[in-house]
Amino acid sequence: MDMLPAISSAMLVVTHGCNLECRYCFVRQGAERMAPETAWEAVEFLSRNAGREGTVPSINFFGGEPLLMWDELIEPLVRRVRAGGRPFRFSVTTNGTLLTDERLDFMRRENFGLLLSMDGDRAVQDANRPFHGGRGSFDVLEPIVPKVLSRWPGVTLRMTAAPASCAGLFESIRWAEAMGFRSFFVMPNVFESWAPDAWAALERAVMDYAGLYAARRRRGGECIRFSALERMLGDLSPGGEERAASRRRAENKCGLGAGRFASIAPDGGIYACQELCSNEGSASPFYIGNLSGGVDDARRRALMELYSRERARSERGCGRCGCAKICDGGCAANNYLATGRLNRLPEVYCRWMRLLLRAAERVRRDMHE
C-alpha cells in the first residue's frame, strides 16, 4: 500500500470536562485537561508533518467544552504560534455558552473557523442540552447567537435530534433560519432507542423541512440548507452512486486514520477519531500513537483493514434497503460504539438514511411539479 500521509491536522481535545450535560453526550466527562506543554508538542508535531507534506497545519480545539481552557491554553497557544510567524489554521467546536465579545473578536482576528453545537429553540435546547444541575442553556445562548452570526455569517448550526424532543425539530429549524443561520446539520442520536411515536415525529419534521425547502426553491427563493439532504440530492444525480461508493472506501473515510486528520487527547495520545479519545484509551483500535513516540502507521492500516474486512451493512442486514447503491457505510466510530463493529451500522442510522432518501425524493418531485 502507498505511504499514508503524515498527520498535520488535529482535533485537539483540550479537556474531557464540560459545563453542559447533554442527554446524548458521548464524552466520558472527567477532570483531564491538556497541559500547555502537551499542546505545544502537538503544534510542533503538526508543523513538522505539514512541512514534510507541503501543507498548512491546523488545529480544531475540541472537548468536552474547549473554551473551559481559553485562558489556560487556547489564547496563549494561538498567540505563541502567531508570534513565531508560522502558518497555522485554527478552528473551534463549541457549545457556545462561554463565548464572550473578547473571545469572539480574538478568534475573528485570528481567522478561526467556528462550529456551533446547539439544538435549536428554547424548548429543544433546554430539553437536550442543560447545564449540570438541570438549568437550561437557551437563555445564556440567546444573546450570544447574533454575535456569532455577525462575525461568521456562514456558520453551520450542528444539531442532534433526541427522541424526547424531536417533535420540536421543525420549529427549531425555523428558529435557526429566523436567527440568520444559512445552514444546519442534524443527526438523530443513534445510541438511544426510538419509540415509534418519536420516530414518526422525526419523520414529520424532516419531511416538513423538505416541503418548505422545495416550495421556496421552486419559487426561486432561498431556504436554510441542510447539508445531509443536499448530499443526498447529489447522490441521486448522475455520478452519485460512484461518489457514494468512493466515500464508503476506507481510504476516503474520516475517523480511520487514512488521511492527514487525527485527534490528540489531553494526555498526548493520538486517535483516528475524536469520538474515541475519552472512551477506551490506548486499548482502543482507534488509538494510533502518541506525541512522544509518534504515529504507528501499522495501527492506522489495521484500523482501515478492520473496517474494510467486509462491506459495511446494517446490524440487522440490509434487506431491500433503498439506500443500497448510495450507502456510505455510516460513521465508523459510531458504528463501533453502537454495535461493537466498525462496519455494522446501527439500525437508527439506516432508518435515518432512508428518511433522508425519501426527503430528497420529495424535494425532487415538488421542485418539478
Q: Which of 224/326 has CB closer to ligand SF4?
A: 326
Min. distance of Cβ 65 from ligand SF4 in angstroms?
Answer: 5
Non-local CB neighbours of 298 within 8 Å, separated by 6+ positions: none
State yes or no: residue 343 binds ligand SF4 (CB under 6 A).
no
**Interface of this chain with ligand SF4, residues 100 to 129, rule: CB under 6 A:** 117, 129
Nearest CA-CA partner of 246 in 344, 327, 335: 327
Nearest CA-CA partner of 179 in 120, 136, 103, 225: 120
* # binding residues, ligand SF4 (CB under 6 A): 23
Min. distance of Cβ 313 from ligand SF4 in angstroms?
Answer: 5
State yes or no: residue 32 binds ligand SF4 (CB under 6 A).
no
Q: Which of 4/321 has CB closer to ligand SF4?
A: 321
Task: Provide the edge-to-edge strand list for the sheet that holds 156-161.
Answer: 225-226, 183-188, 156-161, 113-117, 89-94, 58-62, 9-13, 261-264, 269-271, 287-290, 294-295
Q: Where are the beta strands (DSSP E) in 107-173?
A: 113-117, 156-161
Q: Which of 33/299 has CB closer to ligand SF4?
A: 33
- Return the amino acid letter for 33: R
User: What's the rounded Cα separation, in Å, for the pair 176 and 70?
Assistant: 27
State yes or no: residue 313 binds ligand SF4 (CB under 6 A).
yes
Instruction: Determine the interface stretch with ligand SF4 among 33-41, 260-268, 290-298, 320-328 (rule: CB under 6 A).
Output: 320-328
Q: Which of 215/245 has CB closer to ligand SF4?
A: 245
* H/E element, 18: none
Helix, strand, coil share of the chain (percent; to 5): 45, 15, 40
State yes or no: residue 323 binds ligand SF4 (CB under 6 A).
yes
Q: Can you tell me whether residue 15 is helix, strand or coil? A: strand
Q: Can you tell me whether residue 161 is helix, strand or coil? A: strand
Total number of residues shown for the chain = 369
Q: Which of 115/223 has CB closer to ligand SF4?
A: 115
Contacts with ligand SF4, 61-100, as mask; x by CB under 6 A: --xxx-----------------------------x-----
State yes or no: residue 345 binds ligand SF4 (CB under 6 A).
yes
**Interface of this chain with ligand SF4, residues 2 to 31, rule: CB under 6 A:** 18, 20-22, 25, 27
**Chain positions contacting ligand SF4, by CB under 6 A:** 18, 20-22, 25, 27, 63-65, 95, 117, 129, 312-314, 318, 321, 323-324, 327, 345, 350, 353
